[in-house]
Amino acid sequence: MGRTLNSPGDWWAGYGYEIPTLQGVAIKILSQPCSSHWCRWNWSTFESLASAFWVTEAPHSTDSANLLKRTVEQCGCVGISFGHVLVTKLFRWSNPSSRHYDAIRVYSVSIKTTSSSLSLKFISPADIEHHNPLTNFLENLDMDASTSTIVTLLALFAITWYAWIRVNSKKESSSLPPGPRGLPLIGNLASLDPDLHTYFAGLALTYGPILKLQLGSKLAIIVSSPDLAREVLKDHDVTFANRDVPAVARIAFYGGLDIVWSPYGPEWRMIRKVCVLKMLSNSTLDSVYGLRRREVQNTVAYMYSKVGSPINVGEQTFLTILNVVTSMLWGGTVQGEERGRLGAEFRRAVADMTELLGAPNISDFFPALARFDLQGLGRKMSGLATRFDQIFDRMIEKQLNFDALGDRERASSSECKDFLQFLLKVKDEGDVKTPLSMTHIKALLMDMVLGGSETSSNAIEFAIAEVMNKPEVMRKAQDELDNVVGKDNIVEESHIYKLPYLHAIMKETLRLHPVLPLLVPHCPSETCTIGGFSVPKGSRIFINVWAVHRDPSIWENPMEFKPERFLNSKLDYSGSDFNYFPFGSGRRICAGIAMAERMFLYFLATLLHSFDWKLPAGEKVDLTEKCGIVSEIEEPSCCNSNTKIIQPSSLPVDCRRSICS
Ligand code: HEM
């Protein structure tokens, strides 16, 4: 069913030829660009449009076929009749009084071109609508010749464009990664499990290391192998350095003006630089070691007062980290009586927020429905965000009043003591290119409170729970601490660099429990090829670091908590090895690694050095994970449950130091 035209200039007007229903086609291969108004397309345009072409029948008579041929010759350079233009005109020439053509049908053709030949392959007419709506439409319109030509041209353009889109979208969908078949409209939403990381890992076993899910109108791509993670986060780092911002994140993070959700660009660079330099760099962290020390010691004192009775380790850890973060931000902490009450309340609010951030939301899958907030997640997030906003407002006001009261020395000092003060100073100084607004400042505070507290405290809680389930690991860590710190000394941050086994515990904890198991979803700014598959611009990319960290082809006995595997390993948190990247990799790697590492090691070292921890005989901590965007232990390691008691054992037998506070 094809015909090849071998030489430029060769042309063919078939009449009832090759395909019985095809009555006539005018083709002339253009060897020269054409100047005729009939033919606006030169050869290269012709080539580029070739895959989305339309051929139109000539009028239904031998004469008109000849006329067609003659006309083509007269025009000198008419290519394949683009849709109806030629035919319409020809028909009018052959029978100017009639507006009726009884046999016009449109067939789509796929045209393959090489430098000197053009082959036409007619797609079965049965597949194609016989009464083309455009033709009918044109027939029924009462137009003069020039209007008709304009309308025809416009329609033609629309058809060509539509065909081009269809051909491309077909091409695109055939090159997308594999994935489970979905239902019309909702795609795979019906089968989506809220524990995304385990659900995705299960799917990867069937569909391979890159797969797709259609979530309403949103395409999700899931990557679960080191090689493909490298392609996304290293080879195409810039393209994937964007975020697909969930609707609830816009609410919580002031429209996404923070570091985590900002699109890649100068504004993101500016706010990230400000935070990293002035809050999260090693030199700033060194300068505020006193704050960490004070908070950790306060927590130890609190635990000491509870020796012999159960404590909620997760809550205490969270509060310690939160106090460190807030005292770095604006000098505020929660102490005394408020500690238990506010700690729990604050923790719940932060956990609720991160849970909402990871929750499947119809507003994301069908953005047109976002304004209805069908699941009420936006409303919930608004309520939580307002509480934080009020705290930020109070702190900012306090800071501004403090400066206005004329603590001149402080106000004029270039040495800003806390981060909020520094941010307000940067805002007032006003960088013209990328100014920092009050909304930016609040968005950054939200990043630090949310990003800084729950991630680190959940990781520490996982570590304590794992260590408690493996008394031999606890013993080794305590032996190392006794050797380096001494039994009756207090752990200082300077000790942590001499504790390889403790480092190994941290790495192993983040291997088995990367607290952001799918990182923060990335989003390509343009369509890209990953693992040979097309990953369309705007899709939501989940990198399943949790699955990579448990891949038996990479890790021996991956489910076992075994810090020793890291003792002689070069793996670190830099994201340069895609077998292990709990903090992500590339441009959007975690901005708080230095702080997380210090807090984790210093706090865990202090807890293990200060107390013996034990579970009731025969008990194990259940480490089942629950995951929004951040994972946590499903059943908190808490005192409320009779079965999961974690306690520092009572003095004088078990407190490991003579000075516990
Ligand atoms: C154990 C603790 C932590 C872990 C495991 C962790 C992990 C991560 C991960 C996986 C990402 C996303 C990377 C990506 O999308 O490719 C991230 C982003 C981020 N983290 Fe952390 N994080 C921790 C602690 C912290 C702390 C303490 C802070 C700051 C106080 C922080 C601030 C941030 C920020 C601002 C981002 C966004 C970076 C960007 O998009 O440019 N994180 N973190």
SS3 for 332-388, per residue? Answer: CCCCCCHHHHHHHHHHHHHHHHHHHHHCCCHHHHCHHHHHHCCCCHHHHHHHHHHHH
432 band by pLDDT with thresholds 50, 70 and 90:
low
Q: Ligand 1 centre from 428 Cα, in Å?
A: 28
Mean of pLDDT values over 72-95:
32
Mean of the per-residue pLDDT values of the chain? 74
Tally Cβ neighbours within 10 Å of residue 295.
23
Best residue among 545, 572, 583 to mutate for probing ligand 1's pocket (most ligand atoms within 8 Å of CB) is: 583
**Which stretches of 218-281 are DSSP H helices?**
226-230, 247-252, 266-275
Ligand 1 atom 35, closest CA: 591
Question: What integer pLDDT is reported at residue 400 of this predicted model?
Answer: 79
Place 550 in a pLDDT band, splitting at 50, 70 and 90: very high
| Atom 36 in ligand 1: residue holding the nearest Cα | 590
Closest CA to 544 of 633, 461, 631, 634: 631
Sign of CA dihedral 205, 575, 627, 645: positive
Q: Is the CB of 260 under 6 A from ligand 1?
A: yes
Predicted confidence band of residue 263 (pLDDT cuts 50, 70, 90)? very high
Is 660 annotated as contributing to ligand binding? no
Q: What Å distances lie between residue 463 and 57, 301, 507, 599, 618, CA to CA? A: 75, 21, 10, 13, 19
CA distance 610 to 153: 82
Residue bearing the CA closest to ligand 1, atom 9: 583
pLDDT band at 336 (very low <50, low <70, confident <90, very high): low
Residue nearest ligand 1's atom 43 by CA: 590
pLDDT score, position 26 = 35
φ, ψ (nearest 5 deg) of residue 271 = -70, -35
For 519, the token pair is: 């990182």
Q: Express as a percent the part of the chain with pLDDT over 90.
A: 45
The helix/strand/coil state of 542 is: strand
Q: Is 632 in a helix, a strand, or coil?
A: strand
Ligand 1, residue 458: give the atom nearest the CA: 1
31 contacts 8 by C-beta, under 8 angstroms: yes
- Report the pLDDT value the prediction gives residue 214, as an integer from 0 to 100: 96
At 87, which helix (H) or strand (E)?
A: helix 85-94
Distance 4 CA to ligand 1 centre (A): 60
Phi, psi of 180 (to 5 degrees): -65, 145
Name the residue of 258, 278, 455, 464 whose CB sits within 8 Å of the most ligand 1 atoms, as the mutation to test its pocket.
455
Q: Is 274 in the pocket of ligand 1 (CB under 6 A)?
A: no
Written as one letter, the residue type at 2 is G
Q: How far is CA 604 from CA 316, 317, 327, 433, 460, in A?
A: 12, 9, 20, 43, 7
Give the pLDDT confidence of 45-65 residue by residue, as tens digits: 333 333 223 333 333 344 444
14 or 557, which is more confident? 557
| CA 592–ligand 1 middle distance (angstroms) | 6
CA angle 194, 195, 201 (to 5 degrees): 125
Q: How confident is the model at residue 69 (pLDDT cuts 50, 70, 90)?
A: very low
Model's pTM, two decimal places?
A: 0.72
pLDDT tens column, 376-406: 999 999 999 998 898 888 888 877 776 655 5
Exposure b/e, 230-246, CB count within 10 A at least 16 = b: bbbbeebbebbbbbbbb
Query: What 3 state SS string does 166-194 have?
Result: HHHHHHHHHCCCCCCCCECCCECHHHCCC
pLDDT in tens, 609-627: 998 887 777 778 888 888 7
Residue from 571, 567, 604, 659 nearest 481 by CA: 604
Question: Distance, CA 513 to ligand 1 centroid (Å)?
Answer: 14
Q: Quote the tokens at residue 474.
A: 């606890």
* Strand (E) or helix (H) holding 403: helix 377-404
**What is the pLDDT, as a whole number, of residue 333?**
62
Topology at the third CATH level for domain 231-650: Cytochrome p450 (1.10.630)
* Ligand 1 in reach of 226 Cβ (< 6 A): no
Q: Is the CB of 515 under 6 A from ligand 1?
A: yes
> Looking at this predicted complex, what is its ipTM?
0.99
The residue-averaged pLDDT of 491-505 equals 97
Res. 128: pLDDT tops 80: no
Nearest atom of ligand 1 to the alpha carbon of 520: 15
- For ligand 1, say whether the CB of 544 is within 6 Å of any of its atoms: no
Query: How many residues would you count in the chain?
Result: 661
Q: How confident is the model at residue 436 (pLDDT cuts 50, 70, 90)?
A: confident
- Does 521 sit in the ligand 1 pocket, CB within 6 Å? no
The whole-number pLDDT of residue 172 equals 56
Q: What is the position in ligand 1's atom list of the atom closest to the CA of 581? A: 10
Closest Cα to atom 27 of ligand 1: 452
Full DSSP string of 404-422: HTT-HHHHH-SS-SSHHHH
What is residue 23's predicted lDDT score, i.e. its pLDDT? 29
Place of tokens 């006001």: 397
Answer whether residue 428 shows pLDDT above 70. yes
84 CA distance to ligand 1 centroid (A)?
Answer: 58
Residue 241 DSSP label: B
State the pLDDT confidence band at 75, using cuts at 50, 70 and 90: very low
pLDDT (mean) for 123-129: 31
Residue predicted with more confidence, 246 or 433: 246
Ligand 1 contact, 519 CB (< 6 A): yes
**Per-domain boundaries in the chain:** 3-136, 142-175, 231-650
Does the CB atom of residue 452 touch ligand 1 within 6 A? yes
CB 474 within 8 A of CB 505: no
Ligand 1 centroid to residue 311 C-alpha, Å: 28
How confident is residue 73, by pLDDT bands cut at 50, 70 and 90? very low
Virtual CA dihedral for 165, 171, 175, 179, nearest 10 degrees?
A: 70
